[in-house]
């Protein structure tokens, strides 16, 4: 691969969602910045399933430039920006809460109207923009949504701060305790991150996935048991491990038919079940009301990141305590993003986190 050289601040290449599930790599203007803003050269951006859902299911009107797990280099700093200067290596987050509303007071930051506004764009309606060569970071994002990358940490590693934060937020909400038995369904990048975070608490992790390669990695990430739910009786396994009770907690890190019902069957009375992957309004779940009410189970939804956990999450990622580099399976130049999207939508045993490198072109 070779580094792409562009005329300074004129045009750039970007993967533009054009509708009907299609993404096209186009030449578009480099975004202009104003006072208090940053222009960042994107060096790495992970492909996230929330973006894939928006593309595959046409959830938002085009045109848009997606991508929000991004890290790069400050190219320009707008008037009044003092914390960052050109050349600084940074992680950029695309949502920041207002901290002053009803929901922020209750630490439900993802429900804050300001948080729902995307504050990073590569052009068109703001949508993150990480699948482009440059992004504009708006003034309300810069003070708390830009994080300096320490020396020795790669852009690829740093780009995990946002997705790991979302998992960290969920793990804190579930609060697994030493001695708990926790089932984590799905061992893609999110499920493996959960496995690492939960294993650190002293809880016993049981991981499920249909791919042998992911099950092997789950054991490396701290799972005591890792099984294929198609060939193993998961509820029976959890009962054997817990004196016939069932899992204390279940983290649902995949979205397939029947997975929530299996979580119910595998959990004990009074158990806690996290819905993490069920993010589309088109998804429907039918459950036994008595299985929740009579057996006193708790269903918990957790979505997006928490600014309160930002510093600790960055430490976990930068230090390698959560081994995110092992999650990267593919590194693709921007002009091959459609290959990356296809692979992410149809994963095989060798695919996990697919990283887009916008400054590279195919050789």
Q: Are residues 233 and 170 in the same domain?
A: yes
pLDDT digits over 174-203, tens only? 999 999 999 999 999 999 999 999 999 999
Q: Closest Cα partner for 173 from 247, 256, 245, 276?
A: 276
Instruction: Give me the count of residues in the chain.
Output: 363
pTM: 0.95
Is residue 317, in this structure, part of any structural domain at all? no
pLDDT grade for 57, boundaries at 50, 70 and 90:
confident
Q: CA-based Rg of the chain, rounded to a whole angstrom? A: 21
In the numeric block, which tokens belong to residue 25? Answer: 């790599």
CATH code for the domain in which residue 217 is found: 3.40.50.720
What CATH number is associated with residue 69? 3.90.180.10
pLDDT level of residue 1 (50, 70, 90 thresholds): very low
Would you say residue 146 lies in a domain? yes
Does one domain contain both 193 and 285? yes
Closest listed residue to residue 24, CA positions, set 63, 78, 70: 63
Q: How far apart are CA 194 and CA 250, in angstroms?
A: 11
Whether residue 152 sits in one domain with residue 181:
no
What does DSSP say about strands 89-92 and 69-77: parallel, antiparallel, or unpaired?
A: antiparallel
Q: Is residue 313 part of a domain?
A: no
Contact 132, 65 (CB under 8 A): yes
Query: How high does pLDDT run on average in the chain?
Result: 95
Residue 2: pLDDT above 70? no
Per-residue model confidence (pLDDT) at position 58: 85
Q: Coil, strand or helix: which one is 132? A: strand
Name the residue among 319, 318, 166, 340 with its Cα closest to residue 253. Answer: 166
Give residue 281's pLDDT: 81
Query: Do 143 and 193 fall into the same domain?
Result: no
11 plus 110 within the same structural domain: yes
Q: Is it true that the peptide bond before 63 is cis, omega within 30 degrees of 0?
A: yes
pLDDT of 231-261, one tens digit each? Answer: 999 999 999 999 999 999 999 999 999 999 9
- Give a yes or no: residue 107 inside a domain: yes
Residue 309 lies in a domain: no
Range of the domain at 84: 2-160+322-361
Got the DSSP string for 9-38?
A: TTEEEEEEEEETTEEEEEEEEPPP--TT-E
Domain check: are 144 and 41 in the same one? yes
């Amino acid at each position: 691969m070779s580094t792409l050289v562009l005329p300074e601040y004129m045009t750039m290449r970007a993967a533009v969602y054009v509708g009907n599930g299609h993404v096209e790599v186009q030449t578009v203007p480099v975004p202009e910045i104003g006072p208090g803003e940053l222009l960042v050269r994107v060096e790495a951006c992970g492909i996230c399933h929330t973006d894939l859902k928006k593309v595959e299911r046409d959830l938002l009107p085009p045109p848009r430039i997606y991508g929000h797990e991004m890290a790069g280099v400050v190219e320009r700093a707008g008037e009044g920006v003092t914390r960052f200067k050109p050349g600084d290596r940074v992680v950029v987050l695309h949502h920041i809460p207002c901290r002053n509303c009803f929901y922020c007071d209750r630490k439900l930051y993802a429900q804050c109207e300001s948080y729902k506004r995307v504050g990073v764009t590569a052009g068109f309606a703001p949508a993150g923009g990480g699948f482009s060569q440059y992004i504009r970071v708006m003034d309300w994002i810069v003070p708390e949504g830009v994080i300096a990358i320490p020396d020795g940490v790669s852009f690829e590693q740093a780009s995990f701060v946002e997705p790991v934060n979302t998992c960290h937020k969920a793990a804190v909400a579930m609060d697994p305790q030493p001695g708990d038995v926790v089932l984590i369904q799905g061992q893609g990048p999110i499920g493996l991150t959960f496995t690492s975070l939960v294993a650190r608490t002293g809880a016993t992790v049981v991981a499920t996935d249909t791919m042998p390669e992911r099950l092997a990695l789950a054991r490396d990430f701290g799972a005591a048991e890792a099984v294929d739910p198609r060939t193993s009786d998961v509820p029976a396994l959890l009962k054997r491990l817990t004196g016939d009770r069932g899992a204390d907690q279940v983290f649902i890190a995949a979205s397939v038919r029947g997975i929530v019902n299996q979580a119910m069957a595998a959990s004990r009375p009074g158990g806690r079940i996290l819905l993490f992957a069920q993010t589309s309004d088109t998804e429907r779940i039918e459950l036994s009301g008595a299985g929740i009410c009579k057996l006193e189970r708790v269903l918990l939804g957790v979505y997006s990141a928490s600014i309160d956990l930002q510093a600790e999450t960055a430490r976990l990622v930068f230090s390698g305590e959560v081994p995110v580099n092992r999650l990267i399976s593919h590194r693709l130049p921007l002009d091959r993003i459609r290959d990356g999207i296809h692979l992410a939508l149809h994963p095989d045993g060798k695919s996990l986190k697919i990283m887009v490198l916008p400054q590279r072109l195919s050789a």
